[in-house]
Structures are given as C-alpha cells and as structure tokens.
C-alpha cells in the first residue's frame, strides 16, 4: 500500500496522465487489491524499505 501522492503519473502512462487520475484509479482499485491480498505492507519509503518489509512478512507467514 502506497500513498497515491507518491505514485508516478505521466511519462507515457496512458491511464494516469496526471495526479488526479492516479488518485481516481487508486480509489477505484484499492478495494480489489485489498480483497485479493494475502499480506499488505506500507510502502511509503524507499524500495529497500519495501523489500525488507516484504521479506519480514513472508518470514512470519
């Protein structure tokens, strides 16, 4: 899970050309992703932080 303000927009991404589109798509898809997830981690930091959280979550499973 990542704050939508931290997600990339534009740069050739046709579904999210701007931050408003990112927020709209995030709000639309979040319930679907949450329902399908076995584990959810907060991912508002660096890639390394996210990786460490993922590894820790799987080690506990």
Please, which pLDDT band fits residue 44 given cuts at 50, 70 and 90?
A: very high
Q: Is residue 1 scored above 90 in pLDDT?
A: yes
Question: 3-class DSSP state for residue 6?
Answer: helix
Number of folded domains that form the chain? 1
Cβ within 8 Å of residue 4, ≥6 positions away: 19, 22, 23, 26, 27
**pLDDT at residue 61 tops 90:** no
User: Which residue range forms the structural domain that includes residue 32?
Assistant: 4-60
Question: Can you tell me the mean pLDDT for 37-51?
Answer: 95
């Amino acid at each position: 899970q990542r704050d939508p303000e931290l997600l990339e927009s534009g740069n050739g991404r046709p579904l999210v050309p701007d931050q408003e589109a990112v927020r709209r798509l995030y709000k639309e898809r979040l319930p679907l992703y949450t329902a399908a997830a076995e584990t959810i981690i907060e991912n508002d930091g660096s890639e390394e932080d996210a990786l460490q959280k993922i590894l820790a979550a799987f080690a506990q499973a």
